[in-house]
A and B are shown apart, each in its own frame.
Chain A
Amino acid sequence: MGSLLTGVAILIRGHRQLLILIVPIAIFAVVTQLVGGTLLGRIAIAFFINLMVVLSLQIFTGNSGLLSFAHVGFMGIGAYVSAVLTMTPEAKAFAIPDLYPALVPVTLPFIPAVLIGGLVAAVVAAVVTFPIMRLREAASVISTFALLVIIQVILAHWHELTNGPRSLFGLQPYTDLPTAALWGVIFIVVAWVFRHSSIGLRLRASQDSEPAALTIGVNVVRLRWIAFIVSAFIAGFAGGLWAHFVTTFSPRAFYLIETFVAVTMLIVGGPRTVSGAVIGTVIVTAAFQGLRTIENQINLERLLPFQVVGVTEILLAVVLIVVLTVRPGGLIEEREIFSGPGGPLGPDADSAAKAPP
């Protein structure tokens, strides 16, 4: 409770930067809603959902310093749980013929179902990730990678819940731009508060020097675990919104390609800062959509004698490697954007902690 209060206090002191982050995004959402066409509206919704996934990754990776490849898996859990909860019994009879009979009559409103999806993702994360939070470096990365594979295998074979590897269809397109934008902004605030809360501070201290953090009594494993649960909730929530945005999807949607895109967004922007996560998502979404449009246009008008596929991913990968080489901390490295000379925590509070390698 104390940590929450400190977080809120700092939030108020540093709210100007947060506003600078939120206001343009909110204006973009409102303008798109009022004058944008269907296509721009869909891109905007996809942007906000991506933003949530990237923010969830930022909450864990940015504060703890540990990479996670598992988050897209938790997004999948949220997507399937919320889908099963909102679909009508008739739709379920078609789409998930093997569904557990007890779940068939259950039909919840949209947002409660998405919230439950996030909660289930968080509970699964709480149960399975506590032991792996004490791993470091290669072992930590491999175990989250293993987790992604396990979730994928289970989603693709649990016919009684997911319709197996085949597509799940028949969802209602509940996710509109105002909903996505509102929750996107809410999660920006959550990530911001988390970063500046005492949990976030202690985690970032442990990232800079784990032994030093341990000596001042920081329970690193427990804090990482909390960060993971919070971030799994957001990932699961984003999955629920995404499910009711695309309305047809299969377990494959929650695997390596999506993980790659989310990681790219976070790393390009800068994993240690919330503004980095936001700006990375903006840039990569813009680049991704632009390149995809060009790619599709080339294929549609047969400008080249062969079909162009994968160019978008190739260019993204090149950008990622260049960013990692030239600016390994991402575009917004240590201090939040527009934080001025003092920053929200006094002189160089964020960067002073960084020890020389």
Chain B
Amino acid sequence: MTPEFALQYLINALSLGSLYALMALGMAIVFGVLRLVNLAYGELIMVAGYTLFVLNDSPLPWLILAAGAVAMAMVASVLTERIAFRPVRVNSLNAMLITSFAVSTLLQNAALLLVSPRTRAVNVPGVLSQNLDVGGFNVSMANVLTIIVSLGLLFGLNLLLRRTTLGIALRAAADDFPMTRMLGVRADRVIATAFAISGVLAGVVGLFWVARIGSVIPTIGAGPLLIALIATVIGGMSGLSGAIVGGYLLGALTVGMQLLLPQGLLDYRDAFTFAIVILVLLVRPQGLIAGRSAARVG
């Protein structure tokens, strides 16, 4: 293995892992407070993608469009919570889960109806397709940016969760929601915040995901949803650090399998990763990084 190849592999794995970690984190933060596996999570990424598509011809700089896309994903996330999840929250966990399935179907078909079932091209800024020269090695700019933005986001989120009242309430709620409520924290507010953060993360993931593909279709969220599921299960469903670890692990695993598996078996890659998911659930249901379990809010 040449050094260039090793560096390439490392950067690919890190960049993919960062993206996966953000996906998993957005899923885990909602799971933490609600015990809800949000199957509509992938559609938030779709919302960000279609916002970019709608703004394709806008003269504004790309960064502002990107901010708009992230904002739309956040709004969509908070709206789904307010309209769909809050009314069924008092019922059962299964009811919430099926609701998220319904929301996912609803948003996907809305995109089908309002835009098109076909792939739509999205403008991607030239920066993302450039290559960077690092000490004689060629490194893709998109990968480097993904890593930098993800790390920045993780750092910022860490600050938010540790230093602000809302963040502390959120962590407390993930730990023991009934107790947190008794101490005077408003459940609705904490849950809405969790969905807002989840939406922002999905939005940022959406930017990079769409930039990688260069287009958007109604089913674009399916891949990220599965990845987020796998990563959270591998890392552990009960803590946020677990989701991050799971994301990076899965990134390394994916790039590694791409490298090592023969083509015939590569077709079955998703089956392999999902078999790993079931195995982890069986052998170590708390995930690799175990947190404390918590009661669900009704």
Chain A residues with CB under 8 Å of chain B are 65, 67, 131-132, 135, 137-139, 141-143, 145-147, 149-150, 153-154, 157, 256-257, 260, 263-264, 267, 308-311, 313-314, 316-318, 320-321, 324-325, 328, 357
B277 A146 Cβ-Cβ under 8 A: yes
B278 A132 Cβ-Cβ under 8 A: yes
A321 B268 Cβ-Cβ under 8 A: no
Chain A neighbourhood of B101, CB < 8 A: 260, 263
B109 A310 Cβ-Cβ under 8 A: yes
With both chains docked as a complex, state the minimum distance between the C-beta of B247 and any C-beta of chain A, in angstroms: 16
Known: A142-B281, A263-B98, A324-B98. A150 touches B113 (CB 8 A): no
Q: Within the assembled complex, what's the spacing in Å between the Cα atoms of A339 and B31?
A: 39
Known: A150-B275, A157-B268, A308-B113. A314 touches B95 (CB 8 A): no
Say what secondary structure dominates the interface of chain A: helix
Q: Within the assembled complex, what's the spacing in Å between the Cα atoms of A264 and B109?
A: 16
Most chain B beta-carbon contacts within 10 A, residue among A141, A147, A321, A357: A321
Please, what's the 1-or-0 string for B10-27, where 1 marks a CB less than 8 Å from any CB in chain A? 000000000000000000
B277 A138 Cβ-Cβ under 8 A: no
| B2 CB–A CB distance under 8 Å | no
Chain B residues with CB under 8 Å of chain A are 31, 35, 37, 84, 87-88, 91-95, 97-99, 101-103, 105-106, 108-110, 112-113, 117, 222, 226, 229, 233, 237, 267-268, 270-271, 274-275, 277-278, 281-282, 285, 298
A325 B88 Cβ-Cβ under 8 A: yes
A67 B94 Cβ-Cβ under 8 A: yes
Known: A146-B274, A324-B88. A131 touches B282 (CB 8 A): yes
A309 B117 Cβ-Cβ under 8 A: yes
Chain B neighbourhood of A264, CB < 8 A: 102
Chain B neighbourhood of A325, CB < 8 A: 87-88
Q: Within the assembled complex, what's the spacing in Å between the Cα atoms of A149 and B230?
A: 12
A138 B37 Cβ-Cβ under 8 A: yes
Q: Within the assembled complex, what's the spacing in Å between the Cα atoms of A314 and B110?
A: 7
Q: Within the assembled complex, what's the spacing in Å between the Cα atoms of A328 and B277?
A: 30
A137 B277 Cβ-Cβ under 8 A: no
Chain A neighbourhood of B278, CB < 8 A: 131-132, 143, 146-147
B37 A142 Cβ-Cβ under 8 A: yes
B112 A309 Cβ-Cβ under 8 A: yes
Which A residue sits closest to B286, measured CB to CB?
A139
14 A–B pairs (Cβ distance < 8 Å), ordered by A: A67-B98, A135-B281, A141-B97, A142-B277, A143-B277, A143-B278, A260-B102, A309-B109, A309-B112, A310-B108, A313-B109, A325-B87, A328-B92, A328-B95
